[in-house]
Structure 1
Amino acid sequence: MIQGLSGIDIALWDIKGKHFGVPVHQLLGGAARNEVAAYATGLYRRKSGDPLTYLPEEAAGYAAEGFRAVKLKVGFGIDEDAAATRAVRDAIGPDVALMVDANHAYDAVAAIRLGRLIERHDIAWFEEPVPPEDIAGYRAVRSALTIPIAGGECEFTRFGFRDLFAAHALDIAQPDTCAAGGLSECKKIADMSEAFGIRYNPHVWGTGIAIAASLQLLAVLPSHTPTSLAPLAPMLEFDRTEHPIRQAILKQPIEHATGMVRVPNGPGLGIDVDRGALARFAADQCGH
């Protein structure tokens, strides 16, 4: 239900922005940045081939495109994950950030074991190391490792995140703008995240609408460590896996340029949906 409400909320912000002729980020308080660094999500296991060959090749390709950060899927066994992490780090070198995402594949014991094996590879964050309901497990993993712990794509509303933050379970919050309550709720979660000293990098998945909505929010978020001499801007998750619908439903696709993505500056979300594409991808009532 919250995911459905999220879609309605995002649509209402788009309508309001188009009514006033301004981008949503202006309605949210004004942009702190007009472009956002993106990290490449991909590096999935394939049905065939050696992951110690194709994963570093894929990662090196993202680095060659200009991405300064990539995210590797783990959760396939501690030893295999450790070997893949090492291979990817060797392929991208020391200057490209590397994150790992287990999609809650492990319990705390296994997650800590894996984390200790890969800490040497300068991991930017360990995402969803344990099931989202296991708050004590999150705390155990976080206290045992020097790697920042990220999560939250399976949490909803400011009330769910309040409990996560109060439990000191996360270093990096990852609400999904299209799932956790829309732009209205995620702005509240972001404000609360700042008050708790927790970094905010939204989870982004699905279509170009999700990318556009996330960019509007990312435009107004404060930087991490804002009082330091080198504040860190929040990053956009940029899915690089095959997805026939993602950009096709937008009249003007949202692309990256050497790992940077510009925030749409047109009215509302700054995008126009291709209704013809929606019709091509529609399913009839029989599910065909």
Structure 2
Amino acid sequence: MKITSVKSRILSYDLDEELGYSQQYYNRRTAHLVEVRTDDGLVGWGECFGAGNFALGNKAIVEQVLAPLFIGQDPLDREVLWHRAYKMMRDHGQKGMPLESLSGIDIALWDIAGKAAGLPLHKLLGGAFRTELPVYGYGMMLKRGEDLPQRFHDEALELKDRGYAGLKMKVGIGPREDIKLVEAVRDALGPDGMLMVDANHAYTATEAFVVGKALGDLNVEWFEEPVAPEDRDGYRFLTSKLDVKIAGGEVEFSRWGWRDLLEGRGVDIAQPEVCAVGGVSEYLKVLTLAHTNFIPVINHVWGSGIAIATNLHLLAAMPDLPGAMSAVQPMLECDTTPHLFQDEILTEPLDVHGQVARRGTARVPDKPGIGVEIDLDAIKRFEIS
């Protein structure tokens, strides 16, 4: 079996309302899918992290830099191909967009491997420790010109009623204002509802310390990306001084980037993003590093139904940490804001939000590969490049 083509499919559509986080406001939804075809007729699908114009930049890397290294090769030689590609890119970028681009291709190769073997991804990874996963929903995005505390309070009440295991909210407009936002959501959820706070590296370490102290008092489960990913000293300071757990790593890349973060105890919870870290192949190495250092992993999930399905398998195949009769189970992160690419590009929707509403968990796909098939007519409807 040989790879015959590697193609990027960039999808986009306009949102009905503007959404924001600490770094920007946006009004378009974008996804970067990767389609890998073989001479046996098998097709694998992957996804690259990075929205908007970053997706267009990654398309060039996928098709002009990486594709020539993969076409004509055996798609089952995933490890050989990964290292060959990484070696060729090493002088030009060991992080960021090159790794995002490689991630999409690698995920597609695992999809092909599963289809070739007639096995779901979690079987290729050694089996499923669980067949269903609790889901936490993230929403409560920043928005201009509104009474944000009241808006966040009302949205939290609505999401609470849908049955999610926990909720995650955005902050990043300023320490005092952000604490008020968290207080509003805590009021809606009650004293014990699971609440996570995501700053998208909005603060200096000093500011994050002030906010983090308040979050500890408000019984927040974790404080996500409080400072810039480059600020390793800031992360270590916060993990050593705050009661609230520090989470991060969605924009860390490869085992080598993760090694120092984990060994330096920069995070209490590791959040690798499979569509950025280097794909499934590299995610598995990061997971091993994290568990070797006894740091729990809760995957970062941002993307289409392809990313969601891939993460369902990865979380299903993740061992408990620590191994115990009543170990805390991993959770699936799922975007609760309008997101047509979660289901409309699939021939059979995953319907994670509907599953949560009906029974409180999401099932792990059991079909070969990542377990979803792509609706090519939907792809054509949304495709911009």
Calculate the TM-score normalised by the size of structure 1.
0.95
CA RMSD of aligned residues (A): 1.2
User: Aligned pair 1:103/2:193, yes or no?
Assistant: no
User: Aligned pair 1:235/2:336, yes or no?
Assistant: no
| Structure 1 residue 59: Cα displacement | 1.0
- What is the distance in 2 between the residues matched to 1:29 and 1:238? 25
Return the match for 1:49 from 146, 162, 166.
146
Are 2:249 and 2:270, in contact at CA under 8 Å, matched by a contact in 1?
yes
Larger RCO (CA under 8 A, 6+ residues apart): 1
Letter in 2 for 1:77: G
Greater displacement, 190-199 / 242-251: 242-251
- Aligned position for 1:225: 322
More strand by share: 2
Letter in 2 for 1:270: G
Letter in 2 for 1:22: L
| Structure 1 residue 246: Cα displacement | 2.9
Deviations 1:143-185 (A, max 9, x none): 1101110000010111111111111101111110111011111
| Structure 1 residue 75: Cα displacement | 1.1
SS in 1 for 2:329: coil
User: Aligned pair 1:271/2:372, yes or no?
Assistant: yes
Deviations 1:40-90 (A, max 9, x none): 111112233211111011111111000120001011111111111111011
Matches within 5 A, 1:31-180: 31-180=128-277
| Structure 1 residue 105: Cα displacement | 0.3
SS in 2 for 1:178: helix
Identity %: 46
Structure 2: gaps spanning 5 or more residues: 1-97
Are 2:298 and 2:331, in contact at CA under 8 Å, matched by a contact in 1?
yes
Are 2:348 and 2:373, in contact at CA under 8 Å, matched by a contact in 1?
yes
| Structure 1 residue 249: Cα displacement | 0.9
| Structure 1 residue 238: Cα displacement | 0.5
Are 1:6 and 1:181, in contact at CA under 8 Å, matched by a contact in 2?
yes
Deviations 1:192-236 (A, max 9, x none): 111101010111111110001111110110123323x42111111
User: Aligned pair 1:199/2:296, yes or no?
Assistant: yes
- What is the distance in 1 between the residues matched to 2:348 and 2:193? 29
Deviations 1:225-272 (A, max 9, x none): 323x42111111101112233321111222232341111111100100
SS in 2 for 1:261: strand
Are 2:245 and 2:269, in contact at CA under 8 Å, matched by a contact in 1?
yes
Letter in 1 for 2:110: W
The structure 1 segments of at least 4 consecutive aligned residues displaced by more than 6 Å after TM superposition are: none
Structure 1: gaps spanning 5 or more residues: none
Matches within 5 A, 1:240-251: 240-251=336-347
SS in 2 for 1:206: coil
Structure of greater Rg: 2
Calculate the TM-score normalised by the size of structure 2.
0.72
